[in-house]
Structure 1
């Protein structure tokens, strides 16, 4: 700088640069521009590392040149990838390129897989998808109808077809037939009274997702009353005594107590199934979910509450059930624990269109260092669960943290806040009811404060809302 000599030129902004600043270590440079972005540059590599985009007052996105991204939920309607005249939604690359905590990874010099979204799109373009029956505007006179989806291979193959009904995934029990390069899939679905929204999409062989095709159908039949189905799991006792927890069962019991007391006026019946301690085996959990699927209707609500250990190994998230002896042994977890994809399949099979998954999943204190590198993968696993099934997920710890229990509270921090919210403190609109989204917002705001008060360190929960909002409790 003293000589005023130009060393290098960093090119990337589309408008004038308004300011620049070096990182404390001098290894990175941030530049802000009138194009509405902030870019991070590697000083020694001459490379653009990431772009930060602000949308309105509350929404944001972080992207890298090869397509990795992290963003707030509200950003997805405004930020897209563009190739020529083609506009590509962020979520089309969700499975491979969504990276929670991306900015922290870039700033710390962390490594990302050397994959490029543009190359993946060229090598494996997504299929085209169209709902061809029923047609737009068709009046439905019966509850059971057929939905036909046409999926055409555009060079990248057809890996998986997904159909959402009012944001909840429909189990793939469809009939299908080949029509040249296209596949015609026929689903039988049960309509709810009022508006029914269907969205179909499909993946290429390399898991690039198509844009969704949407169809709205209205049904004016008789209203069926809703039932609330609840599965509450709380595990203090594990086969390995070193995994013992103190308040997981109490947390689950307290959740059941509040739900029974506060939701009975919302539903014609509240069916609660509990699995505590040694009852909470992998087999019992999966069997119970099958039983709920057999009796639930589309109008019903299903809530899964889980308090116990959680673990992630090789980017695979597990609910650690009572028979487990190790948290990070993949072979043992595959055999004894419940893999999140197995849980996803069971949740998809439950007909209820309104589904909430609540996870107060603790990790042993000794695992804190391991979790520091596993946090982003855990957060992505929960996001995938919510997105792939079309459900709400409220989870105790966000990236690079572990959930805490406190004798002073008699609960884990997360469930302590959850219970206060369900007892009415989360009623933001003061209308006498607490909805799932109100509860999620309350948990996001209050959990860090309570954790800071009792532990001296904030704990940030993970919340994902990929389903219909609905009330849980009524005052």
Structure 2
């Protein structure tokens, strides 16, 4: 098995090596006539080899004595360490020569005499791994490799079409004339070929998922769009319209293909969860009501049950199987005697099928119960290439189908008797039961629809849509990456669903689910309205743990860095979603869309409206490479590109040090005064956001303090910090809706490092002037956190350099907190660290987050008792420290539902990004706050446990607990305990600043 760095194509071809001499006078050359691959570490251990040596036989001629699964260790006296060694030993032989092979067949070592074949007998067709026969340079346009990619593509003055192909790929040769015709018609476009086997770094970077040929259009050094499976000229013509002057289409798109293609999707009944599985064997659990990734299961080999409720996961050695009840999060373990190649699991989780090699070298399909009992073993004929073996459970769990070369078998799972054997022609590429469990779909064979009695017909093709046993629903590919939804009653027609950029492989519906789900080779799962064909959202998970859920309007929910994989294109211009983060990161809108609610009342701005006013261009003037001065002069220039100039933000080492914009307070004081804190439930917040939308339609972004015209230049003196200084500059358009790409410059300060100081401001409020909202543990939380962190921090800071400020109850009014901040602003230096801890009530109103201070008397008076997110930003700017952490353990009197949590996420994330800092934020209900946990609020309890157990937090054994590692530990601990208590709570850990140490682990 090859490593994951080469795994993009392993499910398509497993990087086969056809062992023949170089293609010259093939009739006179000798060949082994077989397909081999490298031996994996795991298989070497399984059969008792000292290491991954030899050549693993994937397929072989019927005569000759070799079998799939054999490992060739020697040819005559020549040791074979890798498949390439076979090519060397064959050079001295002629067709018909007998060679002696030493092979490993399981744990046995066998010697056989093998007659070499003629290379010509291998056939003249195109085969995986065969020596190149495509014209060098693809005929009329050149092939480039990694070393030339930047020059020929990214820095090209002309638009570039990159044609991704492989020498073993038959369609790549078939569709080559399409690209040649495009080249003749569009002289202003450069076309280059990229051999996927020679340029894997490019393949991985741009997400070519294995569907070949593929084309990516580049312009100005950026990817504009891509198409997988270029089978029609119209697909490429469609790409080129996106860079023409009259191409004004606006499109939001993830960097598709950077994930692996989707093979399975299913809605888990009565759960609110959607499961998907990709070609990298990873299983994703999505909350399709909220639009968020819940959980991920990774394995070397995996399977998902037809209803998505159960998963089977092979361990890294591929000899044990974990059986997972996804909804209940329970697991059991099966120990096998197979080297597992493929898995399947029944819809009830009561039977698990595994295919692989036994230790005697033979292949079989074994069936187990979850309690590790072997039910049946089905031998597989040695003539079968392992890739030909397919098997599946029916959606009702009553049947099991096994497809091998020229044969299809049905078994009854009640007693595992073989019920039907059907003679087929060829081998199925995919095996799926119809959704009514009465027949099998077997693409790749002539008559591809076979019922349980063995009757064969020619079906319409397509893939099964799971979840509706009362109808045979199918997703049928239209050939242009769109699909139509068909049933046995649709009469050959169906509604068209367009949006995927690669073929669709899977579909799902549910009894109580209003959406249709589809999974594609473009790496996305998409939810659709089956009545209209409209796309609701895209769900995309990447191999690095990041994910995105996005609506067609551009509003999205994402992991901490998920937005980095999201782009917006208008014509030939492509923007990163990071430039729209402040406006379009809206988990609450995603949730509303998935509930089927109209979102027009929540939308202050659409992507189409925002992108009409492009962001300005920004540039930082020259800075010295190094300086010993305490201050440097930083000058910068901002120039409009047609959308004007709005707020300008300047960052130092990621932290906001200057900005000239703020979010307006749009709510009238009279309106707010009529509300009570306990009235701010999800419904109120929802209505409030809709009313805000009406007032914000004309100017939804921040307010700037001064007009700037079309060109704005400014200089300021900036204090340096010892070591590397990174200056970042970003500016918004005049309406403050689209941010420019960040411009950065760096210099090294050689000034002496000052002795570091730590400043902690802790606020805890139990007693309010309005006693009806009093809390129980907030004051104690502030005291305990302050004391425990201060004690731990002595491992880094001198005791005299740790400065503590504590504001409790009546001493924690708004004016008290702001005065404390002013005092700290005069003391804290750039190289110091600052931590703000707040345990109190919090609220969301009119797109702002507020801390409810101790002076709150029942009236929502901003000026007297509420500290807004605007004021928190100003606090962070006044305090010079470049290392700041803000912790908000707040209780929401109106309760925390999906709307509150989604908007809370959006506002806190935008706040952290704007400040360039770290934020821990946990929003709980009053009930949860009053209950507490072991003498503290739940989230603070998790933080305190992390401070006590530094070794458990420091999972990477760095010797220190950092801001990021403590946040991860506290989030997971809070989530685990809250689930057990029946009040699920997942804190937000938002990291936009550089990580820093909190204390050393000793």
For residue 474 of structure 1, report the CA deviation from its aligned partner.
2.7
Relative contact order (alpha carbons < 8 A, sep ≥ 6): 1 or 2 greater?
A: 1
Would the aligned equivalents of 1:37 and 1:51 in 2 still touch at CA under 8 Å? Answer: yes
Tell me, what secondary structure is at the counterpart of 1:421? helix
1:224 aligned residue = 754
1:79 aligned residue = 566
For residue 307 of structure 1, report the CA deviation from its aligned partner.
0.6
1:446 aligned residue = 973
Would the aligned equivalents of 1:228 and 1:301 in 2 still touch at CA under 8 Å? Answer: yes
Larger radius of gyration: 2
Is the aligned partner of 1:119 residue 2:609?
yes
For residue 433 of structure 1, report the CA deviation from its aligned partner.
2.1
2:914 aligned residue = 388
Would the aligned equivalents of 2:928 and 2:983 in 1 still touch at CA under 8 Å? Answer: no
Would the aligned equivalents of 1:28 and 1:42 in 2 still touch at CA under 8 Å? Answer: yes
1:377-456 aligned at under 5 Å gives the runs 377-397=903-923, 404-406=929-931, 409-423=934-948, 424=950, 425-453=952-980, 455-456=981-982
Would the aligned equivalents of 1:201 and 1:212 in 2 still touch at CA under 8 Å? Answer: yes
1:456–1:96 CA distance, 2 compared to 1 (3 A): same
For residue 24 of structure 1, report the CA deviation from its aligned partner.
3.2
1:246-261 aligned at under 5 Å gives the runs 246-261=776-791
Would the aligned equivalents of 2:645 and 2:709 in 1 still touch at CA under 8 Å? Answer: no
1:461 aligned residue = 987
1:4-83 aligned at under 5 Å gives the runs 4-5=490-491, 6-25=493-512, 27-83=514-570
2:1000 aligned residue = 474
TM-score between both structures, scaled by the size of structure 2: 0.44
Would the aligned equivalents of 1:315 and 1:378 in 2 still touch at CA under 8 Å? Answer: no
Is the aligned partner of 1:290 residue 2:822?
yes
Q: Larger deviation: 336-345 or 54-63?
A: 54-63
1:301-450 aligned at under 5 Å gives the runs 301-326=833-858, 330=860, 332-364=861-893, 367-368=894-895, 371-397=897-923, 404-406=929-931, 409-423=934-948, 424=950, 425-450=952-977
1:132 aligned residue = 621
Would the aligned equivalents of 1:139 and 1:217 in 2 still touch at CA under 8 Å? Answer: yes
Q: Larger deviation: 64-73 or 81-90?
A: 81-90
Would the aligned equivalents of 1:375 and 1:401 in 2 still touch at CA under 8 Å? Answer: no
1:379–1:402 CA distance, 2 compared to 1 (3 A): farther
RMSD: 2.4
1:357-397 alpha-carbon deviations (Å, 9 max, x no partner): 01111123xx226x543222222121122111111101123
Would the aligned equivalents of 1:289 and 1:347 in 2 still touch at CA under 8 Å? Answer: no
Would the aligned equivalents of 1:435 and 1:472 in 2 still touch at CA under 8 Å? Answer: yes
1:295-329 alpha-carbon deviations (Å, 9 max, x no partner): 11110000000011111122221100011133xx6
Is the aligned partner of 1:182 residue 2:671?
no
Q: Which runs of 5+ in 2 are unaligned?
A: 1-486, 661-704
1:38–1:165 CA distance, 2 compared to 1 (3 A): same
Cα distance in 1 for residues equivalent to 2:730 and 2:885: 23
1:121-270 aligned at under 5 Å gives the runs 121-122=611-612, 124-134=613-623, 138-172=625-659, 181-207=710-736, 208-268=738-798, 269-270=801-802
Cα distance in 2 for residues equivalent to 1:180 and 1:377: 34
For residue 172 of structure 1, report the CA deviation from its aligned partner.
4.4
Tell me, what secondary structure is at the counterpart of 1:9? strand
TM-score between both structures, scaled by the size of structure 1: 0.92
1:403–1:195 CA distance, 2 compared to 1 (3 A): farther
1:3 aligned residue = 489
Would the aligned equivalents of 2:555 and 2:590 in 1 still touch at CA under 8 Å? Answer: no
Cα distance in 2 for residues equivalent to 1:404 and 1:394: 17
Tell me, what secondary structure is at the counterpart of 1:133? coil
1:2–1:110 CA distance, 2 compared to 1 (3 A): same
Q: Larger deviation: 425-434 or 67-76?
A: 425-434
For residue 349 of structure 1, report the CA deviation from its aligned partner.
1.4
Q: How many residues align?
A: 463
For residue 25 of structure 1, report the CA deviation from its aligned partner.
3.3
Q: Which runs of 5+ in 1 are unaligned?
A: none
1:411-461 alpha-carbon deviations (Å, 9 max, x no partner): 0000000001012242223344210000111012111112233x2232111
1:284–1:22 CA distance, 2 compared to 1 (3 A): same
Cα distance in 1 for residues equivalent to 2:911 and 2:706: 29
Would the aligned equivalents of 2:849 and 2:868 in 1 still touch at CA under 8 Å? Answer: yes
Structure 1 outlier segments of 4+, above 6 Å: 176-180
Would the aligned equivalents of 1:361 and 1:403 in 2 still touch at CA under 8 Å? Answer: no
Cα distance in 2 for residues equivalent to 1:46 and 1:96: 27
